[in-house]
Amino acid sequence: MSAPNSQIRILSLNCWGLKYVAKDREKRINAIANELGSSDYDIIGLQEIWIYADYELIRSSVASALPYSKYFYSGALGAGLAIFSKWPIDSASIHPYSLNGSPLDVAGGDWFVGKGAASVIISHPELEEIEVFNTHLYARGGESGTETHRAHRLVNAWEFAKLVRQSAALGRYVIALGDFNSIPSSLPMQLISSYASLVDSWEASNAAGSLNSSSTPSPLQAIRDFGITADSPLNTYSAGKTLDAQARRYQGKRLDYIFFREPVVLKNQSRFECRESTVVFRDKVPGSNHSFSDHFGLRAVLALRTESQSAEAEQSSGPRQAIPLALDARIIDSTLQTMIACYRASRSRSRLHLAIFLACIFILMPLVVGSAWLPKSWINPIFLLFTVFVSWLGTTMLYSGFIFGHWEANALTSVIEEMELLRAFQGRPGGVNVHQFTTEATEPLAETNFRS
């Protein structure tokens, strides 16, 4: 094994690069480009790079060390994902997640950017194929959000885990990174790490620390010991921001991750070993009083070991943790319960929006007829504006209630059935009767075919 390729240095960074919304974007992106241009990374995954000119700036800064790169397109505003590599990129793809919030949630914006899982297949001189995944999961609501928010993020997690699992089954080494918008103990992260058999670089290279301790860590300790990357008081864009109880209690959240795993069948007997995982981009931009982004970055160094070297390492440091072959039944049940609750809420919301649409139709009929008998000319502009508003509301409710309502219900149905098949395959009898939860006395739901 040649020394230059005996380890892989990786960076994941959310750049907070939304035009007109992100503060100090141009200055920060320039500073990020300068920092990356003088760095030693072999693979870089960036999130929230929504302006192509920002991507080009960073690409030109890192081109000498990382000559291969890919910018990913998705949704109306772009996925915001980019990957840079020292080694040649053989192919690239992006999988838009089937659920990304509601089109009515304009402030959230997730639906418009088309979040998804981007990936490139890298031709590595020692490992042959490495598939690098870069993702940014649905953000709305956090851990304390509604059942709908949690369900959409779970759909993202399930689809991401399946992609990783498929890649490993095809004989590829996998590196998966990004902003997962979920803390380590959350259900989406349990689903991803378990079903995709991924190893968390932070946990693999840092002493185990528990956020359940009775004392609140200092902001610096939270970063150093627990890998906090978001909502830290040491980040200028988080300071003074209204945070949820989790972030206040533990001085921020760990939302950014770098995972890795080997293929199902090893071709050259090489394994990954995480030697280092640290939080980076913690300082302020040189010559300014603001941070590089509203997230800190995460760096990981993976060493390549042969089977014999791994055996020697296990003798000195203990055996490597076994990769689970099945998904824990508790994770399946919890995911199903969340999906079912979201399904029922979705159907109820869809019926409400369709009822509003019908009400708008009934309101428009007298408006159209009565427009010929307006008593005063000054009433005409007001009458017209009201008619336009009712027409817009009716059209929006039809779109939301019928098109998006069925879209969401079908996506949830698909995941529910896949989870039930997985539970049956793992040989666990009994369990939740999904048809009982989704079917109401007044609605037979003939379009669904849930298995009991």
What pLDDT digit, counting tens, does each position of 368-390 carry?
A: 766 656 666 666 777 678 888 99
Distance CA 219, CA 236 (A): 13
Planar angle of CA 314, 317, 318, nearest 5 degrees: 60
| Residue 214 DSSP label | S
Q: What is the pLDDT of residues 26-45, one digit of tens each?
A: 999 999 999 999 999 999 99
User: Nearest CA to 151 among 431, 349, 411?
Assistant: 411
pLDDT band at 452 (very low <50, low <70, confident <90, very high): very low
Residues 389-403 have a mean pLDDT of 91
DSSP-based helix, strand, coil % in the chain, nearest 5:
45, 20, 35
From residue 147, give the alpha-carbon distance in Å to each of 141, 143, 409, 411.
9, 10, 14, 15
The reported pLDDT for the residue numbered 183 is 93
Q: Could you count the other beta carbons within 10 Å of the beta carbon of residue 107? A: 6
d(CA 429, CA 54): 53
What's the pTM? Answer: 0.87
pLDDT for the residue 252: 92
Pick the catalytic residue: 124, 149, 295, 353? 295
H-helix or E-strand spanning residue 401: none
Q: Does the active-site annotation cover 152?
A: no
Closest to 105 measured CA to CA, from 119, 96, 115, 92:
115
Which pLDDT tens digit goes with each residue over 161-207? 999 999 999 999 999 999 999 999 999 999 999 999 999 999 999 87
240 — pLDDT class (breaks 50, 70, 90): confident
Residue range 274-314, pLDDT digits in tens: 999 999 999 999 999 999 999 999 999 999 987 655 555 44
Q: Kindly report which listed range (49-53, 109-113, 123-127, 193-197) carries the lowest average pLDDT score.
A: 109-113
Residue type, 71: Y
In tens, the pLDDT along 82-92 reads: 999 999 999 99
256, 137 Cβ separation under 8 angstroms: no
